Structure 1
Amino acid sequence: MIAWVAGIAAAVIGTASGVVFTGWFNSLGPAAFDGLGGSPPVTVAYVMLQNDGLDLALREPVTAFQDRAILLGRPDAAQRAAFLERYRAAGIGRMQITVVLEGNRAGLRIADVRPRVLSSAPPSDAALLTPSSAGEAPAIEVVADLDRPVPRLTTKKDPRVPYFSTRQIDLVRGERATLSITAATTKGFYEFEFVATVVSDGHAEELRITAPGGRPFRLTARSRAYRAVYRTSPADGWEPPAVCRRAEGNAC
C-alpha cells in the first residue's frame, strides 16, 4: 500500500512539473535556454587582416642567422607568420580588418565597438618589408584613428561622430554581422584590440576582439627612414636589403 501511494505521488509530481516546464518554455520560446550553457552572447566567428600587397615594418633588425635565412629564403606560411610575430611586424599607415560577429541569444544588441590601445611607441624603423608593387586598400566602411586621445569607430564621411552614437546592431541566434574596419595612424606604433559592448538579458557584457591566435593588432606610422629595406614579389621572395641611414639623408 505504501509503495502504491508513493508511485501515484511521484506520477502526480512529474505531471505537474511537466505542465510547469511546458508553460515556461512556451512563454519564453528559444530564449528559455539562453545563458544556461555559459556561452557568451556573441561569438567572434571570423577575423581577417587584409595586408596583402601592403608595406610592413619590423620593430627590431633581423640579425639572427636562422631568421635571416627565413627572411631571404622562401618560408612556408607558418614560418612566415612566426617570423613576423617575433619581430612585431606592423602594417604601415593603415590596415583593414574584417570581423564577423555571430549572435548566441534569441535577441541581443551590440551597443558599441571601440579600439583599445594596449601599448604605443614611436614608429617602427628597423626594417621595411615592401612588395615590388603595393596595392590599394579596399573601400572602407568604418575607420579607427588610433592617434586620437580616445579612439572610436567613425565613418570616413564624418570622422568627428562616433559610428555607434547613432547606430547599433541587433542580432538573433545564428545571425551574423560583418564589420569592415580600417585602422589608421600617422604618428606612432600601436598594439591594440577591439572591445564590443553587448546588451543581452537586461545587462551589458564586454567582448574582446583580437587578431587570429589571440595576438594584438599592430599598426605603425611610416618612418622618415629605415635601417634596412627588403623588397619582395610573389615569384622571387624577399630580396637582400638596401641600407638606408638617416646620416646619409637617404629616406628609403
Structure 2
Amino acid sequence: MSPEPSAEPRQSAAAPVLRDSVVGGDNIQITTARDVTIVPRPLRRPSAPRLLAAGILVVLGAIAVSAWPTLTDAAQDLSGTPVLDGTATTRINVGDSLALPGELTADEQSILLREPSDDEFARLMSRHRAARLNSMDVVLVLEGRRNAPIRIIDVRPRVLRSGPPPAGTCLTVPAQGDAGEFEVKADLDEQRPSGGGSRFLPKSIDLAFGERATISFTSRARHRWHEWDIEVVYTQKAGDGVRSMFFRAPDGEPFRLSGPAEKYATVWNDPSYLGVGYRITARNKKCFEPPP
C-alpha cells in the first residue's frame, strides 16, 4: 500500500512565506527570522523654488530684526508717548530762607512751633506759594524712551510769571540738599547763560532707551520774584528740527524763587541758630540772610 499523504503539506525552501511590515517609515520584507531586507526610501533633493523661498524667508527675517527698533519708535511716536521721562525735585538746604506773600495763620504758626515733618512743612509752603530766597537747587533726572538716541541740546529755565518780591513773611529752615552729575546755573533776573555763551548746559547729552542723565539746576534771583519751570531742548531725528519738553515739581506746581524784599511784616528765624526751632524774631524788618 502506498503511504498516505501528510495532512500538512510541506513548504519548499525556495518559496518562503512573506510578511510585510513597516518600521520607522521603511518598508521591511520579512521571510524568516534571519532573513530581513530593508528597502530605504529614496532621498528627495530640495527643488530650486524651495531653496529660493527659504532664502527669501531668511532675508526677510534679518530685515525684520534690524528694523524692529525703528518700527517700535514709530509706533510710540504715533501713540504720542513722550520721548523722554523725567522728574524734577528740589530740597531745602541748611540755612535756606523762603518768602511768603502773606502772614501765617494762628494754626499754621502752631504747626511751625511744634517742629513739623518735612512733608508737613512742604505742604504748608506750597499752600502759601512760598518762594526760595536768593537761590535754589532743582535736581532733574531724564531718561530716554526711544531706541534711537535723543540728543539733549540744552536745559534752561522758562519764566512763567514775574513780579516784585513778596514781603508778607520770611522764614529760615533746616533741611538737606542734593547734587547731580551735570550742573546748570541760571540767573532768572537776567535769563541768559553766563559767560556770554549760547546755552546753559555745558555739553550735549545723548540718551538711548533706558539711559539716564542727572542735572543739578541752580537758579538765582536778586531783584524779582519768579515762577518758573525747566525747558529741555532736544532733537530726535535728523531733519526734524529742535523740540522742547517742560518739567515742573512732582505736584505739577512751577518752581518759585525770589530776591529779598526791603522788609517783611513778619520774620521767622532760629534766634540761637542751634536748633531751637521756629520763632518770630522781628516785624517790619529784613529777613535773615545766610552768608554766601
Q: 1:18-71 deviations in whole A, cap 9, x for unaligned? A: 878734433335333114243211110x32213221111112111x33222223
Q: Does 1:188 align with 2:229?
A: no
Letter in 2 for 1:144: A
TM-score, reference length from structure 1: 0.76
Q: Within 1, Cα distance between the matches of 2:124 and 2:143?
A: 31
Q: Does 1:237 align with 2:277?
A: yes
Higher relative helix content: 1
Q: Within 2, Cα distance between the matches of 1:195 and 1:35?
A: 24
Q: Within 2, Cα distance between the matches of 1:29 and 1:172?
A: 15
Q: Within 2, Cα distance between the matches of 1:51 and 1:73?
A: 19
SS of residue paired to 1:163: coil
1:177 aligned residue = 213
Structure 1: 5+ residue stretches without partners: 1-14
1:58 aligned residue = 100
Tell me: higher relative CO, structure 1 or 2? Use CA pairs within 8 A at least 6 residues apart.
Answer: 1
Q: Within 1, Cα distance between the matches of 2:266 and 2:213?
A: 41
Q: 2:235, 2:243 within 8 Å by CA — same for their partners in 1?
A: yes
Q: 1:145 to 1:18 in 2, by over 3 A?
A: farther
Q: 1:137 to 1:164 in 2, by over 3 A?
A: closer
Q: Does 1:93 align with 2:134?
A: yes
SS of residue paired to 1:178: strand
Q: Within 2, Cα distance between the matches of 1:51 and 1:76?
A: 13
Which of 54, 61, 66 is equivalent to 1:22? 61
SS of residue paired to 1:174: coil
Q: 1:138 to 1:34 in 2, by over 3 A?
A: closer
1:200 aligned residue = 236
Of 51-60 and 165-174, more deviation after overlay is shown by 165-174
Q: How does 1:56-135 map to 2 (within 5 A)?
A: 56-62=98-104, 64-106=105-147, 107-131=149-173
Structure 2: 5+ residue stretches without partners: 1-53, 288-292
1:33 aligned residue = 72
Q: CA deviation at 1:123?
A: 1.0
2:42 aligned residue = none
- Report the aligned-residue RMSD: 3.2
Q: Within 1, Cα distance between the matches of 2:201 and 2:144?
A: 21
Letter in 1 for 2:98: L
Of 136-145 and 113-122, more deviation after overlay is shown by 136-145
TM-score, reference length from structure 2: 0.66
Q: Within 2, Cα distance between the matches of 1:73 and 1:218?
A: 26
Between structure 1 and structure 2, the one with the greater Rg is 2
SS of residue paired to 2:195: coil
1:220 aligned residue = 258
